[in-house]
């Protein structure tokens, strides 16, 4: 055959293959019935539509495209559910299909290559981790055994506020000290961060900054996660920050593990004194289905400290801020506290079930300010049909609980803080009622929810019982900024500064 004939033969053959491939691709695309959504741009997809507060941008889009919509973040499809019905389909009916997490730079660099609980993909390692949480770390018995720690730390918060009575205080700073101390003592066995305690290698201020940075970096939209081929450019500088942060955490965690191992060494039938001890015992267990390595113990420990510290402080700060905007609600709360508790003692955990108005304040705060407004992203493990739409395997899934919390079909005046809306309603925050899911629900639901709730309820109850709260100077309720910052948690952009005036007899603050 002549070379010209060969060339036309090869060209014809290539064209046929290309046509077959194209038509298969088109047939497949035509066959897929994807959820509605805005038209994506090449390369960036719909990232141009996402602002600094992604839950709000996505909320706006869902008002246009409906309760199930498809976006593209760079080259990745992202499906968003924004109604009770969709939350039920994603997190209950088909929970197991969506029980994985997408791989992100945050998971890779800040959690020992997805070795923690939050970012580990669905599989035996993660299932084993959840079993450890359920049976050991967060069992009702263990949480109860640590009640004395929560009591001591709450008292220390109240007495430090008393010392600063009637002068402006940064409330979240005080609150995160309490939750950090509570969680450090439960997880690590002591306040590693207390400068006065032997073994402290990071100051509390530095550590709180590390936690704020961890939450921010775990929630940010890192461009490289959406457009992998420009990942190496690290355009926003987030990956560099993640690497710096993980080194700081590692130095701290190495120190904690060394100390714990030294304490256990050579002691027969050692009884675990804190959660790190429990994890190290799991790491020694040869019968575990999946070996828990040293980096796994460090990753779990970091998860517990991070999960336990930031979220409760953020929620209580929002609660007091909302109340300061509607001072008349303070009177209702204190009327209940004075009636049920009286003025001669502090609120204890066992009193919480007798404080229904306080409960409505906590629920209303979590409705309007869910700590994770779109939960933590899920990831589909197989092709599936949801509400007649095709959701292919490897799709990222967000459930916008912020939108559900502000849905006018469910809530009257959804943008108003009205705790009374929960009176007489059987709606709880524990994953059964899909209109209120601050802790998520299903297999990936927050394993620390009962601890988180205990800390929130008892610190808020005592803040309201012990003090009359005011804004500083001549600031008016309407002047208080309610802006947010987006990250894995959504704290106030401008921290609340308020003044506390004692309302109980002086001797009660002498603790």
Residue number with CB closer to ligand HEM (295 or 468): 295
Draw the binding track, 119-158, toward ligand HEM (x: CB under 6 A; -: no contact). Answer: -----------x----------------------------
- Fill in the per-residue mask, 267 to 306: x = in contact with ligand HEM (CB under 6 A), - = not in contact: ------------------------------------xx--
Residue 47's nearest CA partner among 83, 77, 68, 67 is 77
Residue holding tokens 């509607």? 326
Integer-rounded Cα radius of gyration of the chain: 25
Sequential DSSP letters for 341-378? T-SSS---GGGGGG-HHHHHHHHHHHHHS-SSTT-S-E
Considering only 61, 117, 161, 214, the residue that binds ligand HEM (CB under 6 A) is 117
Q: Is 133 annotated as a binding residue?
A: no
- Least spacing, CB of residue 149 vs ligand HEM, in Å: 13
Q: Which of 368, 371, 500, 508 binds ligand HEM (CB under 6 A)?
A: 371
Q: How far is the CB of 102 from ligand HEM (least distance, A)?
A: 12
Tell whether residue 405 is a contact of ligand HEM (CB under 6 A).
Answer: no
Is residue 90 within 8 A of residue 243, CB to CB? The reply is no
Reading the block at residue 14, the tokens are 């290539």
The CB-of-111 to ligand HEM minimum distance in angstroms stands at 10
189 binds ligand HEM (CB under 6 A): no
Nearest distance, CB of residue 81 and ligand HEM, angstroms: 12
- The pair phi, psi for residue 483, each rounded to 5°, is -70, 155
In the complex, minimum distance from the CB of residue 370 to ligand HEM, in angstroms, rounded to a whole number: 7
Closest CA to 320 of 155, 474, 173: 173
The CA distance from 483 to 496, in Å, is 11
Binds ligand HEM by CB under 6 A, chosen from 87, 188, 347, 372: 372
Q: Is 308 in the site for ligand HEM (CB under 6 A)?
A: yes
Nearest to 324 by CA among 484, 215, 214, 482: 482
Q: How far is the CB of 447 from ligand HEM (least distance, A)?
A: 5
- Contact status: 118 vs ligand HEM (CB under 6 A): yes
Q: Nearest-CB residue to ligand HEM?
A: 448
Q: How far is the CB of 461 from ligand HEM (least distance, A)?
A: 15
Which of 50, 68, 256, 375 touches ligand HEM (CB under 6 A)? 375
Residues 376 to 395 in contact with ligand HEM, rule: CB under 6 A: 376
311 binds ligand HEM (CB under 6 A): yes
CB 180 within 8 A of CB 506: no
Single out the segment in contact with ligand HEM by CB under 6 A; choices: 37-45, 151-159, 438-446, 493-501: 438-446
Handedness of CA 347, 351, 357, 358 (dihedral sign): positive
456, with CB counted inside 10 A (0-12, 13-18, 19+), is buried
**Alpha-carbon separation of residue 61 from 58, 155, 363, 468 (angstroms):** 5, 45, 26, 41
In whole angstroms, what separates CA 6 from the centre of its chain? 63
At its nearest, how many Å lie between ligand HEM and the CB of residue 303?
A: 5
Q: Which residues contact 376 (CB under 8 A, 6 or more apart)?
A: 101, 118, 440, 444, 488
If residue 500 lies in a helix (H) or strand (E), which one and from where to where? strand 497-502
Question: Minimum distance between the CB of residue 491 and ligand HEM, rounded to whole angstroms?
Answer: 12
DSSP states along 77-105: EEEEE-SHHHHHIIIIITTTTT-B----H
Residues numbered 453 to 472 that lie near ligand HEM (CB under 6 A) are 456
439 contacts ligand HEM (rule: CB under 6 A): yes
Contact at 8 Å (CB) between 396 and 377?
Answer: yes
Residue 80 binds to ligand HEM (criterion: CB under 6 A): no
* Residue from the set 219, 452, 487, 491 that interacts with ligand HEM by CB under 6 A: 452
Binding residues for heme: 446
Residues that bind ligand HEM (CB under 6 A): 117-118, 130, 303-304, 307-308, 311-312, 315, 371-372, 375-376, 438-440, 444-448, 451-452, 456
């Amino acid at each position: 055959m002549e070379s010209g004939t060969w060339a036309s033969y090869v060209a014809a053959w290539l064209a046929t293959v290309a046509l077959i491939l194209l038509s298969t691709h088109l047939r497949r695309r035509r066959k897929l019935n994807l959820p509605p959504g805005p038209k994506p741009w090449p390369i960036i997809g719909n990232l141009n539509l996402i602002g600094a507060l992604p839950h709000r941008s996505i909320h706006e889009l869902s008002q246009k495209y409906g309760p199930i919509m498809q976006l593209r973040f760079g080259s990745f499809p992202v499906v968003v559910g924004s109604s009770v019905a969709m939350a039920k389909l994603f997190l209950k009916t088909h929970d197991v299909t969506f029980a994985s997490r997408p791989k992100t730079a945050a998971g890779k660099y800040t959690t020992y290559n997805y070795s923690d609980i939050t970012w580990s993909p669905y599989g035996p390692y993660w299932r084993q981790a959840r079993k450890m949480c359920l049976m050991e770390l967060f069992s009702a018995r263990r949480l109860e055994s640590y009640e004395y720690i929560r009591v001591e730390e709450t008292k220390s918060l109240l007495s430090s506020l008393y010392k600063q009575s009637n002068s402006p205080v940064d409330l979240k700073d005080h609150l995160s000290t309490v939750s950090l101390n509570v969680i450090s003592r439960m997880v690590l066995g002591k306040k590693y961060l207390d400068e006065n305690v032997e073994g402290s290698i990071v100051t509390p201020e530095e550590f709180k900054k590390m936690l704020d940075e961890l939450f921010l970096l775990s929630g940010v939209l890192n461009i490289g996660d959406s457009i992998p081929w420009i990942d190496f450019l690290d355009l926003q500088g987030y990956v560099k920050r993640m690497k710096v942060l993980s080194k700081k955490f590692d130095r701290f965690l190495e120190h904690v593990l060394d100390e714990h191992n030294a304490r256990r060494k050579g002691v027969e039938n050692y009884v675990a004194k804190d959660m790190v001890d429990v994890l190290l015992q799991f790491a020694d267990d040869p019968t575990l289905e999946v070996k828990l390595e040293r980096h796994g113990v460090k990753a779990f420990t970091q998860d517990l400290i991070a999960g336990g510290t930031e979220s409760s402080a953020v929620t209580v700060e929002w609660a007091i801020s909302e109340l300061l905007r509607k001072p008349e609600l303070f009177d209702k709360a204190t009327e209940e506290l004075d009636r049920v508790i009286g003025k001669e003692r502090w609120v204890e955990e066992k009193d919480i079930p007798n404080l229904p108005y306080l409960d409505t304040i906590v629920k209303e705060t979590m409705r309007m300010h869910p700590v994770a407004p779109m939960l933590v992203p899920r990831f589909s493990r197989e092709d599936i049909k949801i509400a007649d739409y095709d959701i292919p395997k490897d799709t990222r899934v967000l459930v916008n609980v912020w939108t559900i919390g502000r849905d006018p079909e469910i809530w009257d005046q959804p943008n108003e803080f009205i705790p009374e809306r929960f009176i007489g309603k059987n709606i709880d925050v524990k994953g059964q009622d899909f209109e209120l899911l601050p802790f998520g629900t299903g297999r990936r639901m927050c394993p620390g929810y009962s601890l988180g709730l205990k800390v929130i309820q008892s610190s808020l109850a005592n803040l309201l019982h012990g003090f009359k709260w005011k804004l500083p100077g001549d600031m008016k309720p309407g002047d208080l900024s309610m802006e947010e910052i987006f990250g894995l948690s959504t704290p106030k952009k401008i921290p609340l500064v308020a003044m506390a005036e004692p309302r109980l007899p002086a001797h009660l603050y002498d603790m």
